[in-house]
Amino acid sequence: MAITRIAYGVMNGKDVHAFIIENSQGAKAQIIEKGATLEKLLVKDKNGDFIDVLVGHDTLDGHINRSDYQGVVVGQYANRIKGGKFTIDGTEYNVTCNEKGITCLHGGGEYSSAHWNGEIISDNAVKFTYLSPDGAEGFPGNVNVSATYTFTDDNRLIIEYKAVSDKKTVINLTNHAYFNLNGYDSGDVLDHTLKINADRYTPIDEVSIPTGELPSVTGTPFDFTVSKTIGRDIDADHPQIKNGMGFDHNFCIADYDGKLKEIAVATGDRSGITMTVSTDLPGVQLYTGNFLDGSVVGKGGKPITKRSAFCLETQVYPDSPNHPEWHKCIYDADEEYHTVTEFAFSL
């Protein structure tokens, strides 16, 4: 195992570094300090070639000016908060509505836009830290956050998140990696197979806010309990598919118990690469790149096109601050938020 730290650029007067973790097989994970962004992930395909399975950007300018959250850590609250409003102990907080002026998406973009300080902590792990000041994007509390990336010899990428606030606040962190297991420049992901261990999902309204219902996936396009291609039902005649322009929904993990366990398996149809996702969180957002339209240039100067990638964002359900009946997302002052998500790659 080895880690290389290199200069990557300058953002807001601060040097940005990239950290490359290489395992004994020659596979590599590259993470940059802007947004604690997972930028590249090179693993072997069935032909023995290393391919980059992350769709996104390979320049700092791309990450700053053209990113659709590719590879970043998002917070303080990942996904959406209805109307940018929630209440804690009788106090209403109004946070940034950065999506169409009516919804708070990914905490207003604060964590993903921030400079995180990277530190090599072992021969295969880098810890990124950030201090979110009280009131940033409207969220209460000075929040000390860390995201530690570990890449193992058996091709497991482990992301461990920790956060502590000095005020009672909402916390929900995830990584927004866009995957194409055939390679970042290989076209759409419609023939990838996907299985998700979820028996329910959260329907959304016309502005992508959960309705509050938690219906069964059985008999719907949202049933991934048996492996199927991503494209099989992506254009189904279903009101929820129309609302999301495809899949852009939270799936509720079956038999959730708060422990780390396998929740999804995806396989690239041409590469033979399988990605197994494990987490201790209760939900995962499947997003199939429905709003990518080719207008943004990504890696290698190539446009990022519709459905050229998929995301599996482990999380607490969207808008949970306004649904106390769902899973915990409010943390007391000095109470630690701690969660782990793992992406394991095999053939």
Q: Which residues are catalytic?
A: 176, 313
What's the CA gap between 44 and 178, in Å, rounded?
18
DSSP string, 205-253: -TTS-B-S---B-TTSTT--SS-EETTSSTT-S-HHHHHHTS-EEEEEE
Measured distance CA(80)–CA(103) in Å, rounded: 7
Question: Which residue from 178, 206, 182, 212 is spatially nearest to 298, judged by alpha carbons?
Answer: 178
At 73, which amino acid appears?
V
Contact 268, 229 (CB under 8 A): no
CB burial string 281-296: b at 16+ within 10 A, e below: bbbbbbbbbeebeeeb
Is residue 23 within 8 A of residue 124, CB to CB? The reply is yes
CB 17 within 8 Å of CB 5:
yes
